Structure 1
Amino acid sequence: MLRLVFTTLWLCLVASPASALTVGAEQPARYLPLLKNKNVALVVNQTSRVQQTHLVDYLLQQQINVVNVMAPEHGFRGQQGAGEHIADNTDAKTGLPITSLYGATKKPTARMLRGVDVIVFDIQDVGARFYTYISTLHYVLEAAAQQAIPVIVLDRPNPNGRFVDGPVREAAFSSFVGVDPLPVLHGMTVGELALMIQGENWIEQAQSLALTIIDITDYQRDMPYALPYAPSPNLPNATAIRLYPSLCFFEATSVSIGRGTDLPFQVAGHSKVRLGSLTLTPTSRPQAAAPKLAGQQVWYKDLRHSTMQGLDLSLFIETYQQFMQANETFFTAPAFMDKLAGTDKLRKAIEQGQSINAIRATWQTDLEHFRKAREPYLLYP
């Protein structure tokens, strides 16, 4: 039932993707010859589709020997909530083993890859460094390099690809929401990131990796692209995906951004500090088992018609100031805030009352260095 409701909600709220482009998975003539007579492992989730058919089912129909499916955060079917432990299991439809890359280990082990000849990575990303699918990509590439297994990345557009912004992750704040030294918004596709991860030697034995990118045809990074499938349970529509980079920092605060309601990543609210006039009560749901402020009436600011895009700090700083005036705790997880930002400078600047312009100025030099470093790996205009 959850899957049916989730899919229906997504299809009702999102427009069709640009028809001119063709994603990597929908160019089988380019990758099927590389998989014939090979033992294939897939890193996929619910977004891994060839038209309306899941990539797993499609490859099996093409007589490709799929031997293992590896699942990222949210699981193979994309139904688990953020941070929820993903266990190994078996796919009921195909009988294939599903091994978790968001459970006991986040990097494929030698046991997972025993007998594998090639790995295919096909997961839709949303363009923010702290969205963990690209962290999974990093560890898949590293494991493949260390075990001499080729990787094929089937590329997909970045719905926030127009933006390059935010602090570049500092080494001291490395975590699974910031494995590589990327800004909050990197403006790259998964395929481009894979090339950069290898080219910049961000993984061990990078130069021994055999990497193939099946690029998107007729794609430009500023092209509007509405995803045909929700990338995760709490990003149910294009509005949530647009607001996600600006709202994710609230995860480290006492503010609810709508988990446990019908409007995840489309509102910001609190039970004591009235941020808006919309009232909702977060409740435990399959995609949000323990939402912030569960069971409490929360006064939300409705952001569904907001013009916020890219990395917009105005609401975050305004809300911090409201909490200070109300003598309420704002940063409930400051260490996590620093991991999301990739630095402690952002949090400290907000606490010091610095202006948005002053704060944004602090990361411009690092951002310019990143822009130059990424140039050799860009595949799209």
Structure 2
Amino acid sequence: MFFFLPQKYSFHLLVTHVSELTEKLVVGTIPLNRLIFGLCFLTISLVYSCGNSSTAASSSGNTQPLAENLLPTAEIIVGANRTDLYLPLLKGKKIGLVANQTSVIFRENDQKTSEKVSHAHLVDSLLALNIDLLKVFAPEHGFRGTADAGEKVSDGVDKRSGLPVISLYGANRKPEKSQLEGLEAVVFDIQDVGVRFYTYIATLQLVMEACAESGIPIIVLDRPNPNGHYIDGPTMETEYKGFLGMTSIPLVYGMTIGEYANMINDEGWLEGGLTAELTVIPLENYTHQAMYSLPLKPSPNLPNDLAINLYPSLGLFEGTNINAGRGTDHQFQQYGAPFLDPELFTFKYTPKSNPGAKSPKHLGEKCYGERLVGVGRLYEVSLEWLLKAYQNCADKDRFFNTSGFSKHAGTAKLQMQIEAGYTEEQIKDTWKADLESFKRIREKYLLYP
């Protein structure tokens, strides 16, 4: 069974940690020896009206305007900020941390900076709070989040803290027993985006499994899911199990990473029927319908709210020979290829090598496609652009990378349906039974309305 810490306070605790590093590191954290009661944060319900969109989904009421420049720390308090709940679990223990560039503690504007939100990295904050942090484990894209998708990342040393950084996207993707040796607890804190083939949840599952095997407690600091407001897409079939999908869940599963950790544990998804000693540090003031704008890029090619919202739909292009905006400044906000019909696809661009996409598809080639503007907040996976691209492709034999597409979709059926001329409605009808089954399981693990 998972262990869930209840919310103990109706007030969000704000603190000042008195040290040389106060301003840089831990303003907004909660040291054990000094607490100052501060602002009381109320749950805010946001109501959005439907807006215009160029997508087919908008006409059926499945989009709403995508809000910009939201302040996540103003209403939603992330697990990392709730130090009163997890510092007592770390004090006096040797700690490992699974983290990347999104593993931060937020603070409010103290009027000494013009920035709306500032933050301190969890590594720096824990060290400043005298937590015995021994090592960091880094997922795909590395500790600083700059490596390309699929690029192997080597072990190293964090120059700022001097801590060893062990890559979980290099020689091994699951922590080895020797790498966990000497640790008394592991903290997991990574911002996810709620899509099955986004590999941070695979890392979570393998870390939980390794901790269970070694008898080490794991503490997951929960963060909002920007795509947590719906469940949709094909459910992964077991023969396609891999790092793009460790369990048979839908493409978009509508859970925070903490909720999903509980599901992994209690559904018996760890190898050998193991159960991890799991603690989830919950969010405050979060609902699954909340509009949450990520203040930091979760990976190099998800630069903004629009890209993150479109990622479940345009991410399916990753298993084709269509470029989904990598090598441009509009990643997952446009798509194109040299072999799409230029009469229909009048938008043109040429992918170039850039940070996070050193060798994008069709590097240096003129691509014909579509830039998606005015797209509202999606409430379902849209197949509109995938079907449009395939149906208007001059060379259909070049469209699919069959192995890659099946791994991303989690099934071979979707490609066969597209090639057979199924409509979006016909395809989605085949998802319904699996989605309903998953929703019943999901309901048991929801921590938030």
* Higher fraction of helix: 1
Question: Does the 8 Å CA contact 1:276/1:302 hold for their aligned counterparts?
Answer: no
Match of 1:22 among 77, 85, 110: 77
Question: Does the 8 Å CA contact 1:18/1:224 hold for their aligned counterparts?
Answer: no
Which AA in structure 2 matches 1:375?
E
Question: Does the 8 Å CA contact 2:265/2:275 hold for their aligned counterparts?
Answer: no
Match of 1:169 among 232, 236, 240: 236
Q: Quick check: 1:289 aligned with 2:390?
A: no
| SS of structure 2 residue aligned to 1:377 | coil
Which shows bigger deviation, 229-238 or 327-336? Answer: 327-336
Q: Quick check: 1:231 aligned with 2:298?
A: yes
- 1:79-106: CA deviation from partner (whole Å, max 9, x where unpaired): 0110000100000111100000011111
Distance of 1:378 and 1:124 partners within structure 2? 18
TM-aligned CA distance change 1:206 to 1:57, over 3 Å: farther
Distance of 1:43 and 1:66 partners within structure 2? 11
TM-aligned CA distance change 1:359 to 1:352, over 3 Å: same
TM-aligned CA distance change 1:145 to 1:353, over 3 Å: same
* Deviation for aligned residue 1:148: 0.4
Distance of 2:416 and 2:428 partners within structure 1? 13
Distance of 1:37 and 1:18 partners within structure 2? 29
- Percent identity, aligned pairs only? 46
Which AA in structure 2 matches 1:280?
Y
Q: Quick check: 1:338 aligned with 2:412?
A: no
Give the alignment of 1:223-372 within 5 angstroms.
Answer: 223-273=290-340, 274=342, 276-307=345-376, 309=378, 310-323=380-393, 326-372=394-440
Distance of 1:293 and 1:99 partners within structure 2? 33
Q: Quick check: 1:115 aligned with 2:170?
A: no
Which AA in structure 2 matches 1:113?
L
Structure 2 residue aligned with 1:89: 156
Structure 2 residue aligned with 1:7: none
* Deviation for aligned residue 1:328: 4.1
Question: Does the 8 Å CA contact 1:24/1:155 hold for their aligned counterparts?
Answer: yes
Which AA in structure 2 matches 1:26?
N
- 1:111-146: CA deviation from partner (whole Å, max 9, x where unpaired): 110101000000000010000000000000000111
Gaps of 5+ in 2: 1-67, 107-118
TM-aligned CA distance change 1:27 to 1:205, over 3 Å: farther
Distance of 1:281 and 1:14 partners within structure 2? 29
Distance of 1:126 and 1:260 partners within structure 2? 21
Distance of 1:327 and 1:234 partners within structure 2? 27
Structure 2 residue aligned with 1:6: none
Question: Which TM-score applies when normalising by structure 2?
Answer: 0.80
Distance of 2:377 and 2:337 partners within structure 1? 20
Distance of 1:59 and 1:206 partners within structure 2? 33
Distance of 1:301 and 1:106 partners within structure 2? 36
Question: Does the 8 Å CA contact 1:127/1:161 hold for their aligned counterparts?
Answer: yes
- 1:210-235: CA deviation from partner (whole Å, max 9, x where unpaired): 10000001110011000111100000
Distance of 2:263 and 2:358 partners within structure 1? 36
Structure 2 residue aligned with 1:4: none
Which AA in structure 2 matches 1:15?
L
Which AA in structure 2 matches 1:23?
V
* Deviation for aligned residue 1:330: 4.3
Q: Quick check: 1:50 aligned with 2:105?
A: yes
Question: Does the 8 Å CA contact 1:146/1:204 hold for their aligned counterparts?
Answer: no
Distance of 1:41 and 1:331 partners within structure 2? 44
C-alpha root-mean-square deviation of aligned residues, in Å? 1.3
Structure 1 residue aligned with 2:30: none
Distance of 1:141 and 1:29 partners within structure 2? 23
Which AA in structure 2 matches 1:240?
A
Match of 1:100 among 167, 183, 186: 167
* Deviation for aligned residue 1:207: 5.0
- 1:276-304: CA deviation from partner (whole Å, max 9, x where unpaired): 33322111123101101101122231113
Distance of 2:217 and 2:442 partners within structure 1? 23
The structure having more radius of gyration, on CA atoms, is 2
* Deviation for aligned residue 1:329: 3.1
Match of 1:212 among 279, 290, 294: 279
| SS of structure 2 residue aligned to 1:19 | helix
Give the alignment of 1:182-201 within 5 angstroms.
Answer: 182-201=249-268
Q: How many residues align?
A: 367
TM-aligned CA distance change 1:66 to 1:205, over 3 Å: farther
Distance of 1:377 and 1:77 partners within structure 2? 31
Question: Does the 8 Å CA contact 2:209/2:274 hold for their aligned counterparts?
Answer: no
Which AA in structure 2 matches 1:30?
L
Question: Which TM-score applies when normalising by structure 1?
Answer: 0.94
Which shows bigger deviation, 167-176 or 182-191? Answer: 167-176
Question: Does the 8 Å CA contact 2:300/2:355 hold for their aligned counterparts?
Answer: no
